[in-house]
Amino acid sequence: MNKDSVEILGFGVNSYNKEQALEYILENSGIVVTINPEMISYAKNHSDFANIIKNADLVIPDGIGIEIGLKILGNNIKRIPGIDFGLSLIKEVSKTGEGIAFIGAKPTIADKAVENLKKEIPNLNVVYCHDGYFKDEQAVINDICDSNPKLILAALGSPKQEFFINELKKRLPDAILIGLGGSFDVWSGQVQRAPKIYQKLGLEWLYRTIKEPQRIKRIFPTLPLFVLNVVKERCIK
């Protein structure tokens, strides 16, 4: 983690806006973590995961939970949705023609996502594309390395995607690696992103929970506990 960061519950989050974050990672490469309260809560009990976040080259605040938490701690930092950051990375890397690897989501979804992205970004150079339900991780890692991508997009859900890109970075030290959750589902057209008004109000989580009620388990009790812990941190500061 570089110096332009603030702390939340023991984890550093970069204070860059989206353009600065893009510029930084394109210049320096490495692991990008799109952090949210669920990840912080998981990291509290899993030191191997906590270390990945702590050693990431860039940590961006993905979602309203982190934005609110940072605000409680006195830091006015706007969230950068991972899906938007991922798309900007694809566009930037495509300008140079360097290779991009897509790994994640259910079979055919990644292919469909690539097909749709190519309509918008004709220079997109896809050197590897695979679904996220593989058995032999080492074989997938070998194949990705052989394809020598500049950018690796892993949409495997957290924490699986962060453990995966952490392994991959050992073999591809000059690449940019990012975990992107359900982004391929959206790019493929399989899942609708929340309407702009929800995005603007920071209520994407509400829209997704209405559409997929089983996600409620991911919000409660994690989100209220996260806010409570941030308030406690604020009080002892």
Site for ligand UDP, rule CB under 6 A: 104-106, 132-133, 155-158, 160, 181-182, 184-185
Q: How far is the CB of 232 from ligand UDP (least distance, A)?
A: 26
CA atoms of 49 and 160, how far apart (whole Å): 10
Toward ligand UDP, which CB reaches closer, 26 or 112? 112
Q: What angle do CA 204, 176, 25 make, to 5 degrees?
A: 75
Nearer to ligand UDP, 20 or 133 (CB): 133
Tell me phi and psi for residue 66, to 5 degrees. Answer: -70, -40
Nearer to ligand UDP, 133 or 220 (CB): 133
Distance in Å, CB of 7 to ligand UDP, minimum: 23
Rounded least distance, CB 3 to ligand UDP, Å: 28
How would you classify the pairing of strands 11-14 and 5-8?
Answer: antiparallel
Rounded to the nearest 5 percent, the helix, strand and coil shares of the chain are: 55, 15, 30
Instruction: Tell me the C-alpha distance between 114 and 189, whole Å.
Output: 11
CA 144 to chain centre: 19
CB of residue 27 to ligand UDP, shortest distance in Å = 26
Cβ proximity to ligand UDP, 26 vs 218, nearer residue:
218
